Structure 1
Amino acid sequence: MSRTTYMFDNRTPEAQKQLGFLAGILDAHSFEVLAGLDIAPGSRCLDIGPGAGTVTRWLADAVGDTGRVVALDVEPQHVPAGGVIEVRQGDVRVVDLDPEGFDLIHARLVLMHIPERVEVLRRLVAALRPGGRIVLSEWDCTELDRMLVHATDPAAFDAVTAFQRALIAHGESHGMSPTWAREVPAAMAAAGLPDVEATVFNKLWAGGEPGCLLHASNSHQREAALLAQGATTEQLETLRAAMVDPATLAWSYLMYTTVGRRPA
């Protein structure tokens, strides 16, 4: 098993802000996809890398009092347990998963950070009940120079690109794949899921909104790593100013959400 570690640190105060911004960016999309799956009351669900726990709680409402939702994370301190929610600390690469134990498995921005992502996907497929579904949402991080649309300061364009390139390089040094999102459908098919569907989500954000504030938060949380990857202090300061300027317009990363169904 790889010894690489997650590129962020969920134990820091800045990480709690980051998780809130991620929820603000992605929850509406995630809830729409999950609602379209008509999750039955009494279902057993697994939410991997639950972050702030917003999807975990949505699933708990969907399965009702007779269902069960397991929230699995290496550092699950941000997810409150109780009711039908079981919080389990563990690494998805090695933790015991009940064979054919889940009707639905959800993971958002998780496997892209795990070098053994293909092996983990196979483990998750084995944990699906016949007819069960897996939902993987991952960011494609390849169009970095097209994210900023408008900024008051012309220097922001180079600053945002430099920040993004440094951040992705830092992620790759920790085992993150910037292209995995587009590879998921083929990986699911290879793992034995013949029924695969995928959608792509993106949204334009203004400065001061979650899609921009996330970048500022990331720049604070991993400033030393970004400087080591070639970004400058001036560029990071320019980025932060742009991300809170209401005149700024920026795309988020492209979110690829792939749903696979295990044959009944």
Structure 2
Amino acid sequence: METPLTYAFDNDDPAAVDRHSQLPVVLDEFTVSRLTSLGDLTGRRCLEVGAGGGSIAAWLARAAGPTGRVLATDINTRHLPTDAPYEVLQHDLETEPVPDGPWDVIHARLVLLHLPGREAVLRRLAAVLAPGGALVVEDFETTFRKMVLAAPTPEAAELVDLYHTLLVERVLPAHGNDPTWASRAPAAMLEAGLTDVDTAMHARSWPGGTAGALLIGANLAQAREDFLTAGMTEAQLDALVRLVDDPRLIVRSHFTYSTIGRRPPA
């Protein structure tokens, strides 16, 4: 019997706190712009899957207002506030039915790329949309290289490049991640019967000591053993942890593909 694949960045890991503080800084502005493009969300029924620290669920709750409904789900809800202005449900998107809809908006950020059954999950999410409802899937496209825009030494740049190569080719795929998924999501939405499919892409630079660079440190903290297994040394990992605090390093964030598809009106 095969050992079930596990998520590389477990919410029970103490370093997950850093991840959930850095990802909103890196991604929330772009995500909010995409959700805002859906129009007035007042009174809408919104499902936030893989809610993480809950920053987008909280934004949706404000946008939907008192006449709306927001349900935030995660396989591990420990980082969602207990006094959240939205409902919280511990839920496994791959093995459990999608929470009862219909939903006017379903948002999944950095979720499907980690799920081996991502295509089936997308079809099930599409099926519980209300007529005219929107599915918003946002994932990193990690196959693009040249993430280092500036570095204190050529060796430092090579170290970041090595980290990125091993992350994409060895570490994450060992946990079921598909680095090509983000660019395949539009076709998957069309196959699921959604229309008006639209993708926007986003990336920006981050100097050492800021959220986009420190996210590398969070990855290393949570997946250190995986990187050692993939071939990095303890000395290289320690050097990289120091490097991501160095303002002379400037890295480009992964491209985020934000794909929206709508269920046809009744």
1:223 and 2:221 are equivalent in the alignment? no
Aligned letter for 2:19? Q
1:8 and 2:9 are equivalent in the alignment? yes
SS at 1:13's partner residue? coil
- Does the 8 Å contact 2:5/2:176 carry over to 1? yes
Q: Distance in 1 between matches of 2:8 and 2:193?
A: 30
- Does the 8 Å contact 2:107/2:137 carry over to 1? yes
Q: After TM superposition, which residue ranges in structure 1, 4 or more long, deviate above 3 angstroms?
A: 81-84
Structure 1 residues 71 and 171, CA gap change in structure 2 (3 angstroms): same
Q: Which runs of 5+ in 1 are unaligned?
A: none
CA-to-aligned-CA distance 1:163-221 (integer Å, 9 cap, x gap): 12222211101110001000000110011012101100000111111000000121122
Q: Distance in 2 between matches of 1:2 and 1:184?
A: 27
Number of aligned positions between the proteins: 263
Question: 2:163: which partner in 1?
Answer: 163
Q: Distance in 2 between matches of 1:218 and 1:28?
A: 22
Q: Distance in 2 between matches of 1:81 and 1:67?
A: 19
Structure 1 residues 122 and 101, CA gap change in structure 2 (3 angstroms): same
Q: Which moved more, 1:183-192 or 1:9-18?
A: 9-18
- Alignment root-mean-square deviation, CA: 1.6
Question: 1:200: which partner in 2?
Answer: 201
1:107 Cα offset (Å): 0.4
Aligned letter for 1:104? V
Q: Distance in 2 between matches of 1:83 and 1:171?
A: 31
1:98 Cα offset (Å): 4.9
1:238 Cα offset (Å): 2.5
TM-score by length of 2: 0.94
Q: Which moved more, 1:71-80 or 1:161-170?
A: 161-170
- Does the 8 Å contact 1:99/1:128 carry over to 2? no
1:137 and 2:134 are equivalent in the alignment? no
Q: Distance in 2 between matches of 1:231 and 1:161?
A: 12
Question: 1:258: which partner in 2?
Answer: 259
Structure 1 residues 84 and 190, CA gap change in structure 2 (3 angstroms): same
Structure 1 residues 66 and 81, CA gap change in structure 2 (3 angstroms): farther
Question: 1:72: which partner in 2?
Answer: 73
